[in-house]
Structure 1
């Protein structure tokens, strides 16, 4: 009797093992070569083609092959963002959310997919020891399943790719989040995806002309910002070389193109000046000084060259209308002698120029 029990037990265990292996093989056959992984740089949410080109082309070919099924809602595209390179869990979730949206934007822009074609998940942990990746998965039915429409409709729920767990996993972190058609992370707004939130700047071109400039820029959203620069110089005395001048320059900017580096803007300036033979006065005239007020308004164009995570160089040029009301004077034996009084000048042309060093604060870009 004992031998019979042992024999039955061995047969039962063998049947269970065979069933498990068959299920694993069936699962692997279902998934096939349908997992595409895109790598991101730590603390960076920009989707770089370098290093991801081969995977992107493979993804494009799969979408071209199954575009009809995807559009019909029979084959959703699963996009999962993983981030574990930041110190705070909330920051990891937000970064995973932004990266997943970067990948979806590529497919919406270049392959005509819609938001409803995606199922998105975001996780504050690593994926197979990779801390900064976005995984795109297709659940492609086998040939046998494609012959049975009712089986395809009742496609089993996709299993989450296995993740290498930490030595002491916390249940809250490792708990699987339910899949929905909306992102699991719900930040306050998609406008969190802004190259930077606030910047401090100085115009190196004006600084070189001994007109120190300090400014701030607030990035309202990805496309719009408000900038204000102020300049002040107070050099020399009343009876010699002098450059006393102040200037304020507000501007509204619209950032264009995909990378949001090129921009156009509307700006204005107002200030007062008293210059004679200092750098600005020397540019205007070698033996004549000017004092008065000026204002201008016009359009600007510019480009920001990113140097690092926090610094960039801003090149800009403004064109428009300028009006100046002034007195001109010369110096004779250390005494100021007026040449013209209550004059004015109006002209169309350059209103500003800048090569500015920008320090960005609260930025997400590279």
Structure 2
């Protein structure tokens, strides 16, 4: 009999038009309300029944639109379950609670919400329904948004105008200060005659005439070095340098002796003619015995030279020079036995690399 009454009641509900206020999520302050119907004496949520499917689709769409705000707690979701078909209030509340949980399960599974998003209320009266209300805060109206946009545009325009005025005032002030400074400078120049002092011309590094030079690096090794340079034009010069030394010690068991002659041609460059390039030829002889074995022979070679002249005054200058090329040496090796040099063989060597280095003091004679 109970099942028959339940079936008749369900058929009667199908004949009744759908009722209840529903919405897809209005922008006003009134809550969006969704109503789901249940069969009397039954707590199952029949979704395709009596419009529940369409109502659930609208609810899920509203949740999707406001999911972030709902999860943050800014938009509350109220769930109200009702049941009045049971014989006692306690049974009605139990069925209403189950119905509310079934609707919340759909929102959790299909809408991505959590239990913390819901505020649940169950009643033992009012039919066999579950009502969901989503309270969406009221936003500004279109007229209010337009007014805010216009106010922001006016404020930005006023700010830009103020910046332009400030920039124009700054430029005008700078122009006035510049004009005042120019007028003051003109008045001062008018009162005080300008005395022009011509700076003395910088001395040329390569003056015409004859130079005497001494390589200070050679002198530092106790090797006297002197040379002359004849400037045949304002760019070209011919020179020759020579070195000679002879030292012995340890009862003549140690010896350091050499002589060299090095002719050179140079071309001076630049407006002041300070830098130069040239070619050098070198010939000489040596006798070194700084250990048990001595070496005595001849050297011959040459290479390219370059340097820079640093004037120290009208007639004095420093000449920094370097030469790269090849030196060929033929020499004999010997030992001193009982004061007599005993030949130990001969060798020939070729050296590629630096063949000259100098820091020379130059004195222009005339």
Which structure has the larger Rg? 2
TM-score range normalised by the length of the shorter chain? 0.3 to 0.5
Provide TM-score, normalisation by structure 2. 0.43
